[in-house]
Amino acid sequence: MHSRPRLAVVTEAAPWAGMHNPQSSTVLQHAIEIAELARPVVAVIQRKDHDLASQLRRAISSIALNVAEAQGNAGGNSRVRFESALGSLYEAQAGVRLAVAWGYVSQAAVAELLASLTCLGGRVFGLGRR
């Protein structure tokens, strides 16, 4: 079993950047963990609906990318990036729910992913309101 790379290097490299703080760093790590959780789900969806799988990959990637970008921005720009991350998160949730509705995956297969997205949504929402 391999260990996950630590993201602490990022926080030490640019401690002065925008809204960069330990909480937003753990939010970024959480977003990346969601991508790891989503990978097998998206692979199953890919076999049945290429377009939906592609949209999910983009939305899930956008969550982490916008959180990371928010860390390097100040004030209002940071807030806008967190709001963009939240929009992508809602898009990802809808995509996963659609995959269940279309019968591509079972509710049980996506329960952990949806729970993690919901948890992250609360965290991102909080950071966007600072």
- Summarised one tens digit per residue, pLDDT across range 2-25 is 444 444 333 333 333 444 455 567
Q: Is residue 97 domain-resident? A: yes
User: Tens digit of pLDDT for each residue in 30-71?
Assistant: 999 999 999 999 999 999 999 999 999 999 999 999 999 988
Percentage of the chain beyond pLDDT 90 is 62
Q: What is the Cα–Cα distance from 100 to 82, expressed in whole angstroms?
A: 27
Q: Is residue 11 domain-resident? A: no
Whether 89 and 117 have beta carbons less than 8 Å apart is answered as yes
Estimate the crossing angle of helix 50-71 against helix 75-101, to 10 degrees. 160
Confidence of residue 124 (pLDDT cuts 50, 70, 90): confident
Q: Is residue 12 domain-resident? A: no
More confident residue, 10 or 79: 79
Number of domains in the chain: 1
75: alpha, beta or left? (left if phi > 0; alpha if psi -120 to 50):
left
Q: What is the Cα–Cα distance from 99 to 37, expressed in whole angstroms?
A: 15
- Domain span including residue 96: 20-128
Which pLDDT belongs to residue 23? Answer: 58
